């Protein structure tokens, strides 16, 4: 079993939560995104999922307003799920080997959420 781990940082703003809570006010984070993929087989070049391809999916959110980029409430939880779905759709849908994927979103201050299926 192989395991690939990719980390990328994005700076992005969002407003989320009920009115009256501090997160309701537009604010930004330096988000650290971690993607971990476990897989059994390599392609013809001896590679697993491409690091650069994963980073390009993450970095499309850099310097964005997540309220405009994310169609649901732009929480760390929803960002993790959206990134998961985009990675599966863009990178893993053609692979026939066994794999598992986890996307961890660090919102800062030691706070993070992880999405996997």
The two three-digit tokens of residue 108, written as one number: 């800062």
Model pLDDT for residues 6-47, shown as the tens digit of each residue:
999 999 999 998 999 999 999 999 999 999 999 988 889 998
Model pLDDT for residues 76-106, shown as the tens digit of each residue:
999 999 999 999 988 866 665 568 899 999 9
- The structure's pTM equals 0.90
The domain that contains 17 carries what CATH number? 3.30.479.10
The two three-digit tokens of residue 114, written as one number: 């992880």
Which structural domain, as residue segments, surrounds residue 40? 2-116
Number of structural domains in the chain: 1
CB atoms within 10 A of CB 93: 8
């Amino acid at each position: 079993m192989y395991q690939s781990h990719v980390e990328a940082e994005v700076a992005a703003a969002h407003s989320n939560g009920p009115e009256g809570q501090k997160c309701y006010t537009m604010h930004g984070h330096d988000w650290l995104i971690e993607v971990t993929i476990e897989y059994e087989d390599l392609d013809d070049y001896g590679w697993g999922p491409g690091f650069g391809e994963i980073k390009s999916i993450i970095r499309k959110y850099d310097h964005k307003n997540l309220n405009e980029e994310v169609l649901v409430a732009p929480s760390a939880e929803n960002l993790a799920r959206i990134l998961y779905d985009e990675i599966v759709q863009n990178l893993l849908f053609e692979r026939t080997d066994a794999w598992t994927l986890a996307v961890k979103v660090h919102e800062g201050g030691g706070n993070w959420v992880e999405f996997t299926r």
